[in-house]
Amino acid sequence: MANCNGREALRMYRQKYPSRKMPSRSFFATIYRRLCETGSLDVHKPDSGRQRISRTVDAEERVVHAHQRNPSTSLRVVSRETHIPQTIVWRIVHDEGHYSYHLQCVQALQPGDYSSPCASTLSVNPHDLELFLVGTEMGLIHRGSLNDKRCDATYSEHKSQVYRVQWNYLHPRVFLSCAEDYTIQIWDHTERHSMFEFFFEHEVNDVAWAPFSSTLFAAISGNAIVSVFDLAIDKIEAIGMFTCYTAKQNVKLTKLAFHPVKPVLIVGDDR
């Protein structure tokens, strides 16, 4: 009808199908040449002899296993190792919700960028002057020996800075500690975990054993209250509480100590 004229064929196509996208004139020339050479509009591709690999369950398992073994491996390497085309590898990985990544150091820490935890309190065992305890700003308590010149045990019940550690005056294995995490812990230094734990409404600034009793101790907390405990009487609650200042006065208690012999406490504050 168009007499092998591509321009005329395009005009006729536009008249018959005005709403369709118009092909180029070379498109009609290609169709005409194909009809002349093969007598058909089908495209026949020669067999290259290469086996076509389809997506199978076995292929999916091999790809997923290879990718999970090393997620930073590129998909090209996975394709080469599994002998599966890279396009199929990409589809499998994408459908399984896996994503390749590459580790890259963008910034390294230098020694000056961080500091070692500092010691915040120290106590020497009165029964063994070679044995000592060190509390740290990180909440850890280390036990050390002057003979070995090293720390041989660490206690980690506290979650923030340890304000005070103190050995019991009468029991060689027992010590107590207080910290910013609102707790007092009582320990046997031969055990990893504390024996008793007391909770407060504020941080515990200081704690001290009574020199004349193995069960009596006192503590000061952030709300300016002095609490006295006696484990022989009550292992849960304080046996006495004393308020030194009101909340409006905004005074922080910092230190306390027992009289060596008499049941007397002295307390210091930040003023």
Q: What is the pLDDT of residues 148-189, one digit of tens each?
A: 777 889 999 999 999 999 999 999 999 999 999 999 999 999
The C-alpha angle with vertex 25 and arms to 23 and 27, in degrees rounded to 5, equals 60
- Token pair listed for 16: 């018959």
196 close to 235: Cβ distance less than 8 angstroms: yes
**212 pLDDT above the threshold of 80:** yes
User: How far, CA to CA in Å, does 19 sit from each of 8, 16, 58, 68, 159?
Assistant: 18, 9, 46, 50, 74
47 pLDDT band, cuts 50/70/90, is low
**55 pLDDT above the threshold of 80:** no
- Looking at every residue in the chain, the average pLDDT score rounds to 82
Residue 228: predicted pLDDT? 95
User: Average pLDDT, stretch 43-48?
Assistant: 54
**48 pLDDT above the threshold of 80:** no
Whole-angstrom Cα distance, residue 127 to residue 169?
A: 8
**218 pLDDT above the threshold of 90:** yes
DSSP H or E segment with residue 67: helix 57-69
**127 pLDDT above the threshold of 90:** yes
